[in-house]
Structure 1
Amino acid sequence: MELEKQDSSQSQQLKIEVDSTLSNTVMAAVAVRGVCEWARLALDVVNHIELCLVEALNNTIEHAYNDEPGNTVEIIIKKSQSVISLTVSDWGSVMPDDKLSVPVSETEVAGEMESVDNLKASGRGLFIIRSLMSNVQYYSKNGKNSFYMEMTI
């Protein structure tokens, strides 16, 4: 893990690299939760950030790497005075261009969000992320795919 303080914007950044196994999702979530709690964010904000990280990380492992271990997933959490952001990056398969823009209605997801078991298997992770974060972007450059999520705090 790497903690950097950026002097120009008074932001701080933590970089974590994990292997592409779903069991590492919990460890990464605990690390990000710790950063959020250290930053004294409200509990609901911490929970939302953790949920979005888990959804993005699971999607990366399952879709970019086809559940194959031995690949690197990079997670960067960055906090400034008014924004907290997460970037989950991989070097696997690229997400289709239209994936972020596929509309999913709240009523389709409402029943699934009542049960944690249904939520994990629902395939609605992008909807959840888009609902909780104020800015979501995906980009690919030089073989590195990055899923960026930002929340105004």
Structure 2
Amino acid sequence: MDTTFKEYNIRLSIDSRLEQVRVLSGALRGIGQELALSDDKLGQLELMMVEAVNNVIEHAYQLQAGNDVHVRVEYNPQEVHLIISDHGHAMPDELHAEARDMPDPEDLPEGGWGMGLIHALADSIRYIRDARGNHLYVSKQLV
């Protein structure tokens, strides 16, 4: 019996335009199907990635096209890691703090749900800003 398993490290990149997020989402769905992820896990990963990338485009790059948004998908049979990287403005500390509650809908006329949804769906989140840019690490357990 073969007990080895495959690990994957897939890199995707788009320009900082909201209309390209759909293409990125389709690529992640294709990757998830190839890796035989459950529809539930794949849907959660897709939602987290879309929310994170939209946040980068809207806030880090302030809707300015011409900037790179990088997504790395690291897979092993136990978990999937999404690493979203950019070179825009840093994320405010309060948005990536460890304990994050969903925002009160009464306080949000439009938007503001992204990081709350990511925190609710992810098994772990880590944000790092270094000389190479901003990096949001999001992990989802598969077992």
How high is the TM-score relative to the length of structure 1? 0.81
Preserved contact between residue 102 and residue 113 of structure 2 (Cα < 8 Å): no
2:92 to 93, 96, 107: 96
- In structure 2, stretches of 5+ residues that fail to align are none
Matched, 1:126 2:122: no
* Aligned-partner SS, 2:91: coil
- Identity rate, percent: 27
Residue 57 of structure 1, CA deviation: 0.4
1:46 to 30, 35, 42: 42
Point out the more displaced range, 139-148 or 69-78.
139-148
List structure 1 segments (4+ residues) > 2 angstroms apart after TM superposition: 101-106
Q: Identify which of structures 1 and 2 has the higher relative contact order when contacts are C-alpha pairs closer than 8 Å and 6+ apart.
A: 2
* Aligned-partner SS, 2:125: strand
Aligned length: 135
Residue 37 of structure 1, CA deviation: 1.0
Point out the more displaced range, 142-151 or 56-65.
142-151
Per-residue deviation, residues 36-68 of structure 1 (Å, max 9, x unmatched): 111111101111111111000000000100000
For 1:4, the equivalent position in structure 2 comes to none
Residue 98 of structure 1, CA deviation: 2.4
For 1:5, the equivalent position in structure 2 comes to none
